[in-house]
Amino acid sequence: MRGVKGSSQTCSVATCERRIRRNGLCEMHDSRLKRTGTTDDPPKKTLADRFWAKVDRRSPGECWPWTAAVNAYGYGVMRPEGRRTGPTVKAHRVSLMLTGVDIEGMVIRHSCDNPPCVNPAHLSVGTKADNSADMVSRDRHARGSRSGTSKLTDAKIIEIRQRAAGGELHRVLAEDYGVSRSTITQIVNSKTWRHLTGIAP
Ligand SMILES: [Zn+2]
Ligand SMILES: [Zn+2]
């Protein structure tokens, strides 16, 4: 009957554009009023509220596992803004941040080696330089006996020796194969890759 006029009337809450359903209110505000006694927005949850709701807080010395989403490495992740999409941050970073630690630009380590753990007592901050120093020493360790020549295949070694025998400069070969000049010299003099000595390309 009054279809056009009725559908143009909006909820009596000033900021609400929804159509009136009953009592001068939209569906949402009407049901909120019944539930909470007010049409006011519920107080916004703080980051700390949302964070700690997802933590299995145990005794101080134990690991406190994150109970929500984890990334491919097992680290807890969350969206600090509380949105459903968008970038995530690691939960253990949020944990330290909430304890008042300045984590900006810092890397965070777990003393417990347990990726989902967010117990601040198990977390410490280091600089990116600390971390890459760690990585360099790990890498050096991992490559061990290959001593910088891991880019080179047997076929390349044979090629290098052939080219050197043909009179090409070690400096040029070093550049071509992305290794140091001393590496080339060692290869050519059979100080390294001895097992390939005398094999024709
Ligand atoms: Zn409304
Ligand atoms: Zn832990």
Q: Look up the CATH number of the domain holding residue 87.
A: 3.90.75
Task: Tell how far the Cα of 121 is from the centroid of ligand 2, in angstroms.
Answer: 8
Cα(116) to ligand 2 centroid in Å equals 8
Quote the domain boundaries for residue 176: 147-196
Structurally, the chain folds into a number of domains equal to 3
Give the range among 34-38, 65-69, 126-130 with minimum mean pLDDT. 126-130
- 94 and 169 share one domain: no
Please report, as a single letter, which amino acid is at residue 138.
R
For residue 96, what pLDDT is reported?
Answer: 94
* Residue 90: count of CB within 10 angstroms of its CB: 20
- Within a domain: residue 142? no
| Average pLDDT for the chain | 82
At 93, phi and psi to the nearest 5?
Answer: -70, -45
In this prediction, residue 88 carries a pLDDT of 87
- CB pairs under 8 A, 24+ apart, for 152-156? 152/177, 152/179, 152/187, 152/193, 154/193, 154/196, 155/201
Q: Are residues 172 and 113 in the same domain?
A: no
Statement to judge: residues 59 and 119 lie in one domain: yes
pLDDT of residue 183: 87
Q: Output the CA 39–ligand 1 centroid distance in Å.
A: 8
**125 and 170 share a domain?**
no
